[in-house]
Structures are given as structure tokens and as C-alpha cells.
Amino acid sequence: MPSNGVSRAPALSMPTYPSNCLEFARPFLTPETSESDCGVDKAKVSLNVLLVGAGLGGLATAIALTQSGHKVTIYEQTPVLGEVGAGIQVPSNSTRALFKLKLKPYLKPYVTEPESISFRRWQSGKVIGSTKLVPDFTENFGTPYYVIHRADFHSAMCQKVQDMGIEIKLGARVENYNPVAGSITLADGTTYYGDLVVAVDGWSHAQSYLRITLTFIATGIKSVARKMVLGGKDMAFRRPGFAAYRATVDVERMRNDPEVSWILERPALNIWIGNLRHVMTYTIGAGKAFNMVLSHPDTTDPSTWDPVKAVDDMKAEFEGWDPVLTRIIGMVEKTLKWPLISGSVLDRWVSDRLVILGDAAHAMLPYMSQGAAMAVEDGLALCRSLSKITSNEQLAKSLSIFEKVRMQRAGQMQEASMLNSHLWHFPDGPLQEARDAAMVPEVEGRPFSHSPNQWSDPATQMWCYGYDTEKAIDEAWEAELTNDA
């Protein structure tokens, strides 16, 4: 202790290198800000933005840009707003961005916060991998990990958009873009001009959910804007040879069955993994429905799929699996399946005054549950980059920096999603045994430095869920200014 008897805290600042050693001291290093005060940076230059697509990514982007002070008009080709599909995960990196956009009270009535993720052996249900979500993810990453019905998620965002007075033009199908002029032309021939065109007009799992014929599937992955950005060519899509059934089960029916009711005792995600197949389950609708996604190998032409036989075909795919799981599958009364498709990494997202984001730019497999999260991050990142400009002449630089940052982030997430499609689907044998052995410490609650479970692997976990979208943009701008100097 100093001779004067006064003890002083050392001057600390967050390190510039990748480290979390000062997370405990964050409240002492930066002024505490209440969530109601939190929001996006105000733009120095207000832009007239034409935003195409009113899906989850499009609405998040519109909210961010409007809060920043830009004038946004949304053009949506469907005559009625709405989403299809069933459950969707909202991981901590996404909830952080959504809370930044002041969406927490809009989501609260609909979300469920699972306590954990359990990977289970395909034929017995034995837990072989485990990730603790509550309270770990909130404590480590600042915001919770949610699951929600996709329609509820979309409805909550639509309500926010309505409350903010953002204009949405429905039945407005965009047939052409002029990147140089910053214009869009609708199917009825009307042309609109803006300072910037943001296109979120790409493929989504929800759209594909209803696509039963190959023709409709091709329509679902088509993005007019992407083709324009790529100079008339389109992204090469990869079909890794999987399809997925999606279904929900009435939880009351499950509660009345003592053989399966235990799985509803606490909100959690459970994933059964086996040879080329897996089943992911969790409750949605604030616990009112049990969501199931059942992935399996399928390279057949989707136009040949018979929805009448879908339930029987689904049951046959998982015959011989854990009796608890097959009993739940037996409660499914209807299902649809869709092909799983991944986009390739693009070499650009921007052409003059036109920028693509969301699935139009980075369609990915659902195996990291990050597709919608990446679109939300895109919107916040674009907003942050635009907030840096002081004149319209800097728009190109702002878009270039956004493009560079987001292409790396989304490309790596596509890679992580593809990797899970291998990690989860090993046939029984030496590789499967080594994978399961590597997850034993997390199941037993012992310390570990690596795991094949990417939700638990410390390095992957911090990169995925601890990612700071706005900080990444700030650092890229600082590097650009340093290079200019």
C-alpha cells in the first residue's frame, strides 16, 4: 500500500490483441449505458435508400438504417407480409445486434431461452456432447441465446417497422437494377431512384420450405440483384446431397406420454447425430410447440417428391434410432422437406450504388444456425460503415469496407456450417469414437481446450458468438485511414 494510505486502481484499457482477460473489468473501463440508451450511430450524411426484400434480413437492415437517420423505403414482391417455416435459432451474436436495434421488447413475448444443447448418440440417446447456454452465453457474450418461431420473429420485426413509420410497398416485384443510377424498375415498369440500393432479395430456408417442385426451388434461390452485381453471371450453388424434413409436434401430446415427457421438463436443444443423418429438436412458441428438423441424405430431383408420402418416408429414414426419438417422430402428423443448398463464396457484393446482403450474398447450410444471424449482422455492419462518411463522395469507400469485412465473416460462417455437415454425420467407427471421446470433458463438466462441438469449442465459440459487428467495421475503417495517411 502507498505511504499515503491511498490505493489506486491501475489504468486499464481493452487489449488490441484477441483476449478476454479483462472482460471482468469491462464495467470499470467504459461508462455504463442502459439498454434504452443503446442504439446505432447517427449518420452524418442522410441517404435515400431503396431496400428490396422484407424478410428478416431486410427488415433488420431497414430498422438499422432508419434509426441512423436514413430515409428507407422497402419494396417487397409478395402482396402480404409474412413468413413460413417453423423454428429458428437466434444466437447471441444475433440477439446482441437485435437488442442494439431496440427489438428486445418486440421479441420477448415469443422467445424461448434454452438452457443447454445436448448432442446425443443416434441409437441410444446417450449424451455425447453438451453446451451450457444459461447463464454461460449471457455472461460470456452479453446477450442470451433464443429460439423462436420464424413467423413470430418476422411479425415482431414487422411491428417494429410499422411503429417506426418505415414505408413498405407490397406487390412490388423488382425486375431490373441500375447500379450506376441507383435505381430499381418494377414489373409494372415504374422506376425509382435513390442514393443507394440495398438488395436482400435472395434465397431463404423459409422460402424453400414451400418449394415442392424443382421450378419453384430454382425461383427460391434466384436473386436478380446478385446476378447484376456479378456482371450477368450467377453464384454457383452447391448441393451437398442432403435434404431436411421440418415438423412440429403438439407438446400436450408429448406431456401425456411418460416415455418422452421428460424431454420437455427444461427448455433445451437436443441433437441426435448418426451416419449421414441428424435430428435437431427444441420447443418454440414460448414452449407451445416442439420443433423438429430431420436431415438425411437425398440427391433425388425435388420435383419427384410426393408430399402425401412425406411422413412415412421420414419415419423410414430414422428407423432403428433411439426409441425416444422415433416415438416423437411417430407423433408427427404432417411434414414437408426441402433440399439443403449452400452458396459459393462470392468475389464481390457491391456494384456502384447497389449492394447485396443476406442470403443473396451468402446462402449457407443451416448447420451452424447462423443464416438469419448473418443477415442481421450485415444490416448493422452496413449501417455502421455508412455512419462514417461525411460526403456522398465517400459512399464507394464505405461500401468497399463493408464488403471486405462482411465477405470474410460470412464466408467463414459458410465454412463452419459445411464443416458441421461432416462432424455430425460420421458412420460408427474410429473417427466417430475419437469425436465422441473429445467431447467427454464437456459432458462431465471438466476443463477442455478444444471440442468437435462448435457450440462448445472455446476458440470457435468466441469467434462465432462473441463477434462484435460494429467493432469489426471500426477497425477496418481505421486501417483504411491509416493506409491513406
- DSSP 8-state class, residue 344: P
According to the model, what pLDDT value does residue 221 have? Answer: 64
* Residue percentage of the chain with pLDDT more than 70: 91
Whether residue 290 is contained in a domain is answered as: yes
Of residues 20 and 339, the one with the higher pLDDT is 339
- CA–CA dist 199, 358 (Å, integer): 9
The cell 413467423 sits on which residue?
151
Q: What does the block give as the cell for 415? A: 465454412
pLDDT given for residue 286 in this prediction: 75
Q: Does residue 483 form part of some domain?
A: no
CA pair distance 210, 260, nearest whole angstrom:
29
Give yes or no for residue 252 having a pLDDT over 70: yes
User: Higher pLDDT residue, 74 or 11?
Assistant: 74
Question: Is residue 235 predicted with pLDDT exceeding 80?
Answer: no
Residue 112 pairs in a beta bridge with 147
User: What pLDDT was estimated at residue 22?
Assistant: 78
Is the pLDDT at 53 greater than 90? The verdict is yes
Query: Per the structure, how many domains does the chain have?
Result: 1
Residue 56 lies in a domain: yes
pLDDT at residue 29 above 70?
no
Name the region of 335 (left: φ>0; alpha: ψ -120 to 50; beta: rest).
beta
- pLDDT for the residue numbered 5: 53
Give domain status of residue 71, yes or no: yes
Tell me the pLDDT tens digit for each residue of 268-318: 999 999 999 999 999 998 788 999 999 999 999 888 999 999 999 999 999
Mean pLDDT of the chain: 90
Can you give the pTM of this predicted structure?
0.92
Domain region containing 400: 48-469
State how far the Cα of 417 lies from the Cα of 414, in Å rounded to an integer.
5
CATH number at residue 463: 3.50.50.60
Distance between CA atoms of residues 336 and 358, nearest Å? 24
Tell me how far apart the 2 most distant CA atoms of the chain are, in Å. Answer: 85
Neighbouring residues of 340: CB distance < 8 A, sequence distance ≥ 6:
239, 240, 242, 243, 244, 295, 365, 366
pLDDT digits (tens, 9 = 90+) for 114-139: 999 999 999 999 999 999 999 999 99
d(CA 206, CA 78): 14
Residue 482 in any domain: the answer is no
The predicted model gives 178-203 an average pLDDT of 94
Q: Is residue 177 part of a domain?
A: yes
Q: Mean of the pLDDT values across residues 28-47?
A: 72
Contacts of 104 (CB under 8 A, 6+ apart): 35, 98
Q: Is residue 34 part of a domain?
A: no
